Amino acid sequence: MSILTRIVAFTLAWLPLILLAQPKPNIIVIVADDLGYSDLGCYGGEIQTPHLDRLAKEGIRFTQFYNNAKCTQTRAALLSGLYHHQTQQSLKTPNHVTMAEVLKDSGYRTLMSGKWHLSKTPLDRGFDRYFGFLNGAVNFFTGMNRATGENFMRLDREVFKVPKEGFYTTDAFTDYAIEFINEANAKKKPFFLYLAHNAPHFPLHALPEDIAKYRGKYKKGWDALRQERFERMKKLGIISKKWSLTPRDAIVPLWDTLTEKQKDEEDLLMAVYAAMVDRLDQNIGRLTQHLMKAGLDQNTLILFFSDNGGCPYEFDRTPDLPPGPKESYRTYNSEWANVSNTPFRLYKQWSHEGGISTPMIAHWPKGIKNPGTTDRSALHLIDVFPTLLELAKASYPKKFNGKQILPLEGESFLTALEGKPLNRKRPLFFEYQGNRAVRWGDWKLVAERSMKWELYNIPNDRTETQNLIQVESERASKLASLYEEWAKRTGALSNQASVRKKPSTQKR
């Protein structure tokens, strides 16, 4: 046997052990709250987001990543890999396992910082450490529940008493995320961090120095800003040049009909919102810089996306106070949410593109083959769990805690990180309070609650301006049948039940 033959034989014999010895990648999943599709600089926005822009430049921008249009429903689907209906929308049922539970069993240190908004607590569902709040929204400066004043802030299982001065949730969540990473690194274990920020969810709370950066920049109005974002998105390759910008929402007034005082008030609302996004980006910068200093950045996969589209809710519980300080309670309303969701229709809660579309950035220096690219694969929250399983070389169990669990609904998009777009094998479905849709290939069937189906060809018209239901009736019928089968299987509302629901009373 020659020396070369011996070397080859030796290498092949030891290759499995060599592969096993390679460190598993760290995983960070960052979820923003109520961020619109076009709010980031790398997706066409005017808000300063240099750190996320850098991650996109060094990683991959996904243009067709979908969420569930609502916060709890998105979080349930993300953590379970199931449609939210299968978990009773908040991980209440025992028929599933969370990604934290599986990754923990695979040797990962499982960490969470931020908004939970599901049943039980993170430590009950596989997380080793937790800092954040258990409910849906809090005061950014006090950590108190927005409606009752109750303290839902927790450090692991203990009530966390927020300092009276110097506290801001976006900063604090990053502080603890970094602390937890350091603990995992000291234990020489790979980590999975779920960082669920509440920014830029209402109430509009931001630091004065951040607000000052944007004051006066929005006096040109929502009509001009939507058009500017639309043009930038086309230049960036985020959207197709053949798509039309959707008309301004009918309930949003023409900017020039506002008085100068009203324009100034509206400018401040959007300036505070922009400041919240800016501070979110600053903290992602803090986190990524820490990873670099600790030598963890090269083999850490970071995924960033939003839980739903821009939020049209209109709450003004402190009309005598400007937005920004801790005493105020304001939202930025449908006028500016229409800008956040450029170029799409509708908002949070709806299954039209404005409700379910999110920017999604993947960054992983060691694993991404073609950094700086744009991927147009149709992806969904339910795909994250199987992707992380494949990445971590972990197995999905048939039973958990002695109980049979449902199989995963999503498909791994790990190949997309390697430069090969995902070719979906199954349709994607959406339903929340009667707003519903099915996306299969180039086609999307969608409807608002109480309304009939609409049909759109996504490559030609993702802004959903040309309803083809009449000319493609046979195709629409097939998609509708797929939806009914899925709704029956998962417990979602059928089309008939959705049509019977009353129209949404949400002002938008």
Residue 488: per-residue pLDDT: 98
Confidence of residue 2 (pLDDT cuts 50, 70, 90): low
3-state SS track over 212-257 = HCCCCCCCCCHHHHHHHHHHHHHHHCCCCCCCCCCCCCCCCCCHHH
What percent of the chain shows pLDDT beyond 70? 95
For residue 442, give both structure tokens: 């180039």
pLDDT at 18 over 70: no
219-244: b or e for each residue (b if 16 or more CB lie within 10 Å)? bebbbebbebbbebbbebebbbeebe
For residue 250, give both structure tokens: 């009918």
3-state SS track over 6-30 = HHHHHHHHHHHHHHHHCCCCEEEEE
231-241: average pLDDT: 97
Which residue reads 């994607």 in tokens?
Answer: 428
Residue 149: per-residue pLDDT: 83
pLDDT at 301 over 60: yes
406-413: average pLDDT: 97
Residue 16: per-residue pLDDT: 42
Domain with CATH 3.40.720.10 in the chain: 25-420
pLDDT at 508 over 70: no
468-481: average pLDDT: 98
pLDDT at 307 over 80: yes
Q: List beta partners, residue 378.
A: 64
Residue 191: per-residue pLDDT: 98
Residue 134: per-residue pLDDT: 96
Residue 332: per-residue pLDDT: 95
Average pLDDT over all residues of the chain: 94
Instruction: Please tell me whether the peptide bond between 359 and the residue prior to it is cis, using omega within 30 degrees of 0.
Output: no
333-353: average pLDDT: 97
Catalytic residue IDs: 71, 117
pLDDT tens sequence across 248-265 = 999 999 999 999 999 999
Top pLDDT among 29 and 17 is at 29
Confidence of residue 5 (pLDDT cuts 50, 70, 90): low
For the domain 25-420, what is the CATH superfamily, name and number?
A: Alkaline Phosphatase, subunit A (3.40.720.10)
DSSP 311-379: -----BS-TTS-SBSTT--B--HHHHHHHHTTTSS--TT-SSHHHHEEEEEEE-TTT-SSTTEEEEEEE
Identify whether the C-beta of residue 79 lies closer than 8 Å to the C-beta of residue 98.
yes
123-139: average pLDDT: 97
Amino acid found at 45: G
Identify whether the C-beta of residue 470 lies closer than 8 Å to the C-beta of residue 464.
no
pLDDT at 19 over 50: no
Confidence of residue 89 (pLDDT cuts 50, 70, 90): confident
Residue 421: per-residue pLDDT: 84
What percent of the chain shows pLDDT beyond 90? 90
pLDDT at 13 over 80: no
pLDDT tens sequence across 436-456 = 999 999 999 999 999 999 999
Top pLDDT among 378 and 5 is at 378
Topology at the third CATH level for domain 427-508:
Arylsulfatase, C-terminal domain (3.30.1120)
204-210: average pLDDT: 98
pLDDT at 373 over 90: yes
Top pLDDT among 375 and 505 is at 375
Positions of E strands within 146-299: 153-155, 158-159, 191-196
Q: What is the pTM of this model?
A: 0.94
Q: Helices in 406-494 by DSSP H: which ranges?
A: 414-417, 458-461, 473-490
pLDDT at 294 over 90: yes
Torsion of CA 484, 485, 488, 490, to 10 degrees: -110
pLDDT tens sequence across 420-437 = 889 899 999 999 999 999
pLDDT tens sequence across 48-69 = 999 999 999 999 999 999 999 9
